[in-house]
């Protein structure tokens, strides 16, 4: 792995961590519940991106399954929470 790619991976992971911390700040502060759901969705997506960058870092495609699972659970949980906020129940 060339030093350019290694430096880029470290920089990208640092950006992701910072972005997760900012989204966590919104999750903590958020005036309404929708803000918190949105911030949680963003955190899920950034976690998926972290998995894909780690796949490049460790040259293993096993991380893609984890990324796919994180994306799936993020979608299901965000949709369930949004549906709950909209109707008061998830499955009518």
Longest dimension (CA), the chain: 54
Burial of 1 (0-12, 13-18, 19+ CB in 10 A): exposed
Residues in the interface with other proteins (CB under 8 A) total: 51
In 1-92, where does DSSP find H-type helix? Answer: 3-29, 33-58, 62-87
Footprint (CB under 8 A) of other proteins, residues 72-91: 72, 75, 78-79, 82-83, 85-86
Q: Is 66 in the site for other proteins (CB under 8 A)?
A: no
Q: Is the CB of residue 30 less than 8 Å from the CB of residue 42? A: no
Q: Is 62 in the site for other proteins (CB under 8 A)?
A: no
Q: Is 18 in the site for other proteins (CB under 8 A)?
A: yes
Footprint (CB under 8 A) of other proteins, residues 29-58: 32, 34-35, 37-39, 41-42, 45-46, 48-49, 52-53, 55-56
């Amino acid at each position: 792995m060339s030093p350019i790619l290694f430096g880029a991976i470290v920089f990208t992971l640092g950006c992701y961590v910072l972005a997760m911390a900012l989204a966590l700040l919104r999750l903590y502060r958020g005036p309404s519940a929708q803000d918190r759901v949105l911030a949680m969705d963003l955190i899920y997506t950034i976690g998926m991106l972290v998995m894909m960058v780690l796949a490049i870092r460790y040259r293993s495609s096993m991380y893609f399954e984890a990324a796919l699972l994180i994306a799936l659970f993020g979608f299901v949980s965000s949709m369930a929470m949004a549906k709950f906020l909209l109707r008061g129940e998830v499955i009518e």
